[in-house]
Structure 1
Amino acid sequence: MKTTKNKSTKQITESDGEKLKELFVDGLKDIYWAEKHLAKALVKMSKAATSEELRSAFETHTTETEGHVSRLEEVFGMIDEKAQAKKCAAMEGLLEEGTEIIESTDKDTMVRDCGLIMAAQKIEHYEIASYGTLRNIARTLGYPEVADLLQTTLDEEGTTDHKLTELAEMYVNEEAHAE
């Protein structure tokens, strides 16, 4: 059994590395499922949005999310794993929450848009946490190119989150408050 030392001088065995890779692959399967289901949900969120700017943001992120799915498929290939999805309970719950917001708010209102932004930002924060963690594990496992791809997605998720905050602060929250 091969061993190496990390910065804290703890012995890391080859089997430990395999366990970490299994965790990494499991995390990839989880976010792969999440992205595939999010792409479908974003179409519904776009149709439910009142403001053209929010609708456009959801449409743009739908296209980006489809790219995230493709990028994850590339990552699976780079580590010699089959691109396979594993149900992501967290994303399932977040998407369900988005559906509940649509169903519980009046159509063509800024209150609905405010709720959609809230739901979308919860999703973005989950994705940001997932991609950041996966990027760090990829670096630890010695997959710098994989880490770079995951960083690209992480950057896009951060940009989307920022755009949603801007929309909320520019006018959505104030108009929702006035309704």
Structure 2
Amino acid sequence: MPTSKTTSSTAKKNMSESKFHELFVDEIKDIYWAEKNLVKALPKMAKAATSEELKECITTHLEETKEHVARLEKIFELLGKRPQAKKCEAMEGLLNEGQEVIADTEADSAVRDAGIIISAQKVEHYEISAYGSLRTLAKVMGHKEIADILESTLEEEKNADATLTEVAESTVNEEASAE
């Protein structure tokens, strides 16, 4: 027969696992909102870009982002949950900041492109942080399939960030500094 200390310890552990799981699901809802809103914002960024290389980079990432949304919906399914978004204040702020950069810079300029890259990389860094943390939580909870899905997205976010850096360093920053 378990002692009351053992029962109390088990109850506390179950409650903390439940709260941990709730945190994980809540953060999945947050990044789901972020990705869905990024799908709306990326076409505007691509349209505002002057550099064909930058436009292509953004357009490619738009297609990946649509896949990220689908992966998150798969994660909800694996968790036995209905896909549900929770407003991501951080992503909303980053997207608003990106729109301000576009509004505050001259159209058809490398300076605008440099600003778009900066804004896009801020978004990528946020996503890298979120997906890395979520992958770690999934591993701790023993959700191997979910952790693998999150790892795939994390790698794509890192690649998008690296590609943006390449675009900035190969042409855009030099052109912007000459304007």
- Answering whether residue 177 of structure 2 is matched by residue 177 of structure 1, we say yes
Query: Counterpart of 2:28?
Result: 28
Query: Counterpart of 2:168?
Result: 168
Q: State the 4+ residue runs in structure 1 displaced beyond 6 angstroms.
A: none
Partner SS for 2:80: coil
- Give distance in 1, aligned partners of 2:148 and 2:132: 11
Q: Which has the higher helix share?
A: 2
Query: Counterpart of 2:3?
Result: none
Query: Counterpart of 2:75?
Result: 75
**Cα distance per residue 1:112-146 (max 9 Å; x no partner):** 00000000000000000000000000011110110
Query: Counterpart of 1:42?
Result: 42
Partner SS for 2:50: coil
TM-score (norm 1): 0.94
- Give distance in 2, aligned partners of 1:16 and 1:82: 23
CA RMSD between the two structures: 1.4
Aligned length, in residue pairs: 173
- What runs of 5+ residues in structure 2 fail to find an aligned partner? 1-6
1:12/1:142 Cα in 2 relative to 1: closer, same or farther (>3 Å)? farther
- Give distance in 1, aligned partners of 2:8 and 2:69: 35
Kindly indicate whether the alpha-carbon contact (under 8 Å) linking 1:32 and 1:86 is maintained by their aligned counterparts in 2.
Answer: yes
Query: Counterpart of 1:63?
Result: 63
Query: Counterpart of 1:100?
Result: 100
Matched residues, percent identical? 55
- What runs of 5+ residues in structure 1 fail to find an aligned partner? 5-10
Query: Counterpart of 2:84?
Result: 84
Q: Which amino acid aligns with 1:122?
A: K
Deviation of residue 32 (structure 1)? 0.2
TM-score (norm 2): 0.94
Q: Which amino acid aligns with 1:132?
A: G
Deviation of residue 79 (structure 1)? 1.0
**Cα distance per residue 1:130-171 (max 9 Å; x no partner):** 000000000111101100000000000000000000011111
Indicate the structure (1 or 2) with the bigger Cα radius of gyration: 2
- Give distance in 2, aligned partners of 1:12 and 1:162: 43
